[in-house]
Amino acid sequence: MVELNVSLVLPRDALSVPVARHICDSAMGELGVLDSCRSDIVGALTEACTNVVDHSSDDHPYEVTITLDEARCSIRIIDPGSEADVSSLGPQAIDLDAETGRGISLMRALVDNVRFTREPDDGMVVHLTKQLEFDEHHPVREHLIEPASEPA
């Protein structure tokens, strides 16, 4: 199967979040990713992008890179304006009655791995990964996967 990479540079504006969400969802749908899996990934992406828009300290654009292959979806959200301390973003108990502060826990519940790094040239980077579940009979998926070779 061919690896699909989509890179977006988005304005730090609430209207950019549905754009990222729609592009990610559409790409997965075209490859035959099951709706429930797509929904989880799109939910985590939405939380990560919303955090960038709501909590960053500058107006620089942010970047979203989505990589899809035959096994997983990997997403990088790069926030050059974040001042957040990466060490403070680990797993924590959440107050389920709280109105805010549940985004990271929600991301962790929706995807297989959530990681935060600070990269000198980029700033804060959120890494999301999830194993993909496919409709094996989706026409595009059947076309992109090489048939198994017959034993000799």
Domains and CATH numbers, the chain: 4-84+102-142 (3.30.565.10)
Which of the residue ranges 63-72, 76-85, 89-98 would you say has the lowest mean pLDDT?
89-98
CA distance linking residue 19 with residue 5, whole number of Å? 16
What confidence tens digit (pLDDT) does each residue in 127-151 have? 999 999 999 888 877 676 655 445 5
pTM: 0.83
Q: Which of 24-28, 45-49, 64-68, 136-140 has the lowest mean pLDDT?
A: 136-140
Specify which residues 62 forms β-bridges with: 10
Q: Quote the percentage of the chain above a pLDDT of 90.
A: 53
Cα gap 76→65, rounded to integer Å: 5
Instruction: Tell whether the model's pLDDT for residue 95 goes beyond 50.
Output: no
Rounded CA-CA distance 24/64 in Å is: 10
Average model confidence (pLDDT) for the chain?
Answer: 84
How many Å from the N-terminal Cα to the C-terminal Cα in the chain? 24
Q: Rounding to the nearest 10 degrees, give the CA dihedral for residues 15, 20, 21, 25.
A: 150
User: Which pLDDT belongs to residue 151?
Assistant: 56
